[in-house]
């Protein structure tokens, strides 16, 4: 039996008690099926969680069956079942956890004045009697009994000490002092644990536990403070799932202790490389998305978009990361390309995509990337490929689009006014067409004084979404020669115009006449 199971004190080790399947499931909407619970339990067990609280057996037959199933399934962890300070609850919890290799009955009763007066409708003396009787009952069923003082952090310390003393005397092996409503602040939480541990007879024979809620966003800070104050078990959940604003997040506690071992010299048994997978499993099972900026397991926890950070990351990852992504089971850091990215990251991205551009081409591509990122929320690799290919394919173009205005009217004409640059000279044209693209292509033909035959015109989305770049392809034929043009732009009409121009430029190069004809046509 492990130290956690027997209640042996251990000054260095912090036991991880996961309550995702019990308190986590109390989140509105987070109900899990039996299969999902087993999947979560397996992930927790493989990860090295010391105690898995599998449910509240008296709550329903389904909860009872789930605790039994988890108890039978789990190979290493202690499996706990929750029970109120009511004989029937304790008997039912005992019945469920007896199937575990190591079972624990976790019984609790309120101790704060507000709970005693309004929820329990009991006096302090009555609750003391209940503690003695119910903990003794549980201890008769198993040698592994946890007792919790519900709303401990709003309980006067003298009364709390009397409760704890009686629970220890009645046979509790773990004493949990929950911050049930997330009211504590770290300094007073640490002091509460220190004070109770110092003054209660027998405190050295049990393990003290913290169970913190996140109503003020302090659950993890309070849990760590409790450890400083002498707690050696921390109750937490994957992704911080739990009642109201949630419980302390397991992954945050584990990584805080690991990353700041210099300041907090306590070890857990958790294999941290499993954290990311466990987060995904719980998120899917509970149907609870993980917020992007969630510490440790959020999508952005190891992602960098700003140029200065990306530059630092490329030089040395420790400039902006205090943990490696691998240490929590994430394959690698992501440098997200966006409007805040700089040249260092852009160059690195180009290299990754297989491009080595000369300095001028690079600077031009970077400028186009910045322009694109200003207009587009997500710049994907495919966008950058399209942008660079487009740039490379049109670098020698002598006829370029300078400006274009298209007016379309339902059931009416479509008008295109455009300005081209031909060998650096401005040329204007206007055309009414039967559609926007028709108007654009005809305006271009008018401006360049050529009338190639349109063989193909196609537009694809480079990526998904309404802000995706459009990749336009045009194939033209003139006097038996064929030339293709491509362009990618967030605006489909601009992409179409640029693809058409790109093909016109190539037709001219291929004809060996360069832009001579166009220049002449335009001049006449
Ligand atoms: C802080 C926590 O997370 S505590 C755990 C909270 N989790 C849950 O409540 C989930 C599961 N709960 C349930 O399924 C149900 O509430 C049950 C089965 C436990 C009880 O259902 P019901 O018998 O219908 O009671 P109900 O939920 O309406 O009220 C709770 C009763 O438990 C009593 N109670 C609450 N905590 C305790 C306790 N620790 N010890 C003894 N009695 C308690 C309340 O005073 C109330 O009793 P009353 O009906 O005599 O006033
Ligand atoms: C039952 C106890 C441990 C609890 O969940 C709480 O006080 O928040």
State in Å: Cα 96 to ligand 2 middle: 19
Check: CB of residue 275 under 8 Å from CB of residue 254. Answer: yes
Q: Work out the number of other CB atoms within 10 angstroms of the CB of residue 325.
A: 17
Residues 395, 397, 402, 404: is their CA dihedral positive or negative? negative
Residues 78, 80, 85, 86: is their CA dihedral positive or negative? negative
Give domain 396-523's CATH superfamily: Alpha-isopropylmalate synthase LeuA, regulatory domain (3.30.160.270)
Tell me which residues have their CB closer than 6 angstroms to ligand 1.
23, 26, 56, 58-59, 84-86, 108-110, 119-120, 150, 180, 243
Listed in order, the ranges of the chain carrying CATH 3.20.20.70 are 21-286
Check: CB of residue 241 under 8 Å from CB of residue 286. Answer: yes
Phi, psi of 367 (to 5 degrees): -65, -40
**178, 183, 241, 245: residue to mutate for ligand 2 pocket, most atoms within 8 A of CB:** 178
**80, 109, 119: residue to mutate for ligand 1 pocket, most atoms within 8 A of CB:** 119
| Residue 489 three-state SS | strand
Shortest-distance atom of ligand 1 to CA 150 = 1
State in Å: Cα 178 to ligand 2 middle: 6
Fold of 21-286: TIM Barrel (3.20.20)
Which of left, alpha, beta for 240 (phi over 0: left; psi -120 to 50: alpha)? left
User: Each residue's pLDDT tens digit in the chain (524 positions)?
Assistant: 344 443 444 448 999 999 999 999 999 999 999 999 999 999 999 999 999 999 999 999 999 999 999 999 999 999 999 999 999 999 999 999 999 999 999 999 999 999 999 999 999 999 999 999 999 999 999 999 999 999 999 999 999 999 999 999 999 999 999 999 999 999 999 999 999 999 999 999 999 999 999 999 999 999 999 999 999 999 999 999 999 999 999 999 999 999 999 999 999 999 999 999 999 999 999 999 999 999 999 999 999 999 999 999 999 999 999 999 999 999 999 999 999 999 999 999 999 999 999 999 999 999 999 999 998 888 999 899 989 988 777 777 899 999 999 999 888 889 999 999 999 999 999 999 999 999 999 999 999 999 999 999 999 888 888 888 899 999 999 988 888 899 999 899 999 999 999 999 988 875 444 344 444 444 33
176: Cβ below 6 Å to ligand 2? yes
Listed in order, the ranges of the chain carrying CATH 3.30.160.270 are 396-523
Vertex 214 angle, CA 110 and 301, to 5°: 150
Rounded to two decimals, the pTM is 0.86
Q: Which ligand is nearest to the CA of 176?
A: 2
Of 53, 428, 509, 444, nearest to 242 by C-alpha is 53
209: Cβ below 6 Å to ligand 2? no
Three-state SS letters, 416-431:
EEEEEEECCEEEEEEE
């Amino acid at each position: 039996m492990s130290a956690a199971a027997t209640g042996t004190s251990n000054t260095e080790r912090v036991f991880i008690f996961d309550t995702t399947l019990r308190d986590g499931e109390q989140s509105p909407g987070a109900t899990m099926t039996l299969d999902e619970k087993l999947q979560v339990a397996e992930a927790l067990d493989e990860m090295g969680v010391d105690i898995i609280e599998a449910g509240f057996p008296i709550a329903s037959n389904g909860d009872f069956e789930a605790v039994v199933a988890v108890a039978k399934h789990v190979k290493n962890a202690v499996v706990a079942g929750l029970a109120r300070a009511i004989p029937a609850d304790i008997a039912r919890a005992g019945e469920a956890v007896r199937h575990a290799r190591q079972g624990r009955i976790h019984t609790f009763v309120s101790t704060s004045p507000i709970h005693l007066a309004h929820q329990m409708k009991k006096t302090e003396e009555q609750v003391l009697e209940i503690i003695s009787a119910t903990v003794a009952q549980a201890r008769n069923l198993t040698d592994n009994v946890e007792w919790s003082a519900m709303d401990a952090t709003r309980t006067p310390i003298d009364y709390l000490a009397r409760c704890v003393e009686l629970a220890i005397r009645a046979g509790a092996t773990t004493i949990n002092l929950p911050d049930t409503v997330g009211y504590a602040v770290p300094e007073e939480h640490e002091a509460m644990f220190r004070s109770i541990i110092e003054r209660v007879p027998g405190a050295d024979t049990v393990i003290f536990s913290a169970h913190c809620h996140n109503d003020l966003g302090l659950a993890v800070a309070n849990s760590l403070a409790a450890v400083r104050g002498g707690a050696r078990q921390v109750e937490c959940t994957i992704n911080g799932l739990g009642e109201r604003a949630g419980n302390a997040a397991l992954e945050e506690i584990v990584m805080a202790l690991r990353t700041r071992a210099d300041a907090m010299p306590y070890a857990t048994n958790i294999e941290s490389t499993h954290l990311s997978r466990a987060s995904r499993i719980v998120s899917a099972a509970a149907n609870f998305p993980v917020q992007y900026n969630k510490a440790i397991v959020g999508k952005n926890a190891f992602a960098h978009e700003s140029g200065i950070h990306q530059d630092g990351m490329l030089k040395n990852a420790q400039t902006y990361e205090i943990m490696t992504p691998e240490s929590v089971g994430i394959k690698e850091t992501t440098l997200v390309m966006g409007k805040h990215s700089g040249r260092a990251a852009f160059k690195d991205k180009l290299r990754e995509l297989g491009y080595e551009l000369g300095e001028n081409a690079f600077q031009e591509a970077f400028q186009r990337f910045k322009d694109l990122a200003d207009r587009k929320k997500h710049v994907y690799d495919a966008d950058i490929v399209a942008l660079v290919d487009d740039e490379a394919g049109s670098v020698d173009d002598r006829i370029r689009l300078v400006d274009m205005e298209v007016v379309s009217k339902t059931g009416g004409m479509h008008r295109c006014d455009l300005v081209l640059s031909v060998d650096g000279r401005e040329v204007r044209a206007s055309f009414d067409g039967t559609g926007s693209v028709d108007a654009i292509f005809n305006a271009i033909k008018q401006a360049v004084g050529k009338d190639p035959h349109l063989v193909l015109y196609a537009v694809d989305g480079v990526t998904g979404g309404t802000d995706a770049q459009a990749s336009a392809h045009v194939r033209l034929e003139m006097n038996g020669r064929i030339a293709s043009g491509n362009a990618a732009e967030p605006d489909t009409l601009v992409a179409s115009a640029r693809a058409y121009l790109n093909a016109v430029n190539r037709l001219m190069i291929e004809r060996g006449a360069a832009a001579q004809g166009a220049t002449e046509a335009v001049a006449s």
